[in-house]
Amino acid sequence: MHVFLETPRLVLRRVTAADEDNLFRLNGDPEVMRYLGQGAPTSRDKIRDEIIPFQLDSYQRNAGLGLWAADGRGDGQFLGWFHLRPRRDDGVIDLGYRLVRRVWGQGLATEGSAALLAKAFGELGIDRVVAETMTANQASRRVLEKCGMTLVRTYPWSEPHPVEGAEQGCVEYELTRSQWLASRAGAATNDGGISGRPARGSGTWPR
């Protein structure tokens, strides 16, 4: 197992072909898919023949970036995924996640996303990270704001099949390395000079 990073409750690792069932169940939950793409489940064929091969190839093309399966640190159960990778259309580094419904509301989206932001700015030398979600997806918007990301634009829904809330459009948030460093410095000052604490926050799409 190729571990990318660990948090107090999560292990983020590379996706493998053995994750076909995990991804099929995750993408088959209508609540998970509520604000995504066409709002419909992803077929097993697409997961096996397109999604997993693309992720495996991306590890070779984009050093230090990709989509990472998220397992519970204590029991190893599959909880979803997080990604930190270039967008296909413009190469801007995008942060995202998708978690199984039973762990929503436990702060895992924030925990995993914060760790990826720390990795991006602290180790990988990335200068700017963005995250997108639907305007109506208030849960994910709160997660993004917890990590210090700020709203930079709204834009119309462009998918061919509208889903719930599509008429409200989508939003894009961003965080820069200089903003992240400033927030850490401020946190250290507020903690009486203690530094090195993990950053707080982040996520996108469902919760």
Name the CATH superfamily housing domain 3-190: Gcn5-related N-acetyltransferase (GNAT) (3.40.630.30)
- What's the mean pLDDT in 94-104? 96
State pLDDT tens for residues 63-88: 789 999 999 998 999 999 999 999 98
Instruction: Please report, for the chain, the start and end positions of each structural domain, with discontinuous segments joined by +.
Output: 3-190
State pLDDT tens for residues 154-206: 999 887 777 788 899 999 999 999 999 998 887 766 655 433 322 223 334 44
How many residues make up the chain in this entry? Answer: 207
Q: What is the pLDDT of residue 64?
A: 83
Would you say residue 15 has pLDDT above 80?
yes
- Furthest C-alpha separation in the chain: 54
State pLDDT tens for residues 100-120: 999 999 999 999 999 999 999
SS3 sequence, 102-154?
Answer: HHCCCCHHHHHHHHHHHHHHHCCCCCEEEEEEECCCHHHHHHHHHCCCEEEEE
- Residue 80 phi, psi (nearest 5): 140, -150
DSSP conformation class of 87: -
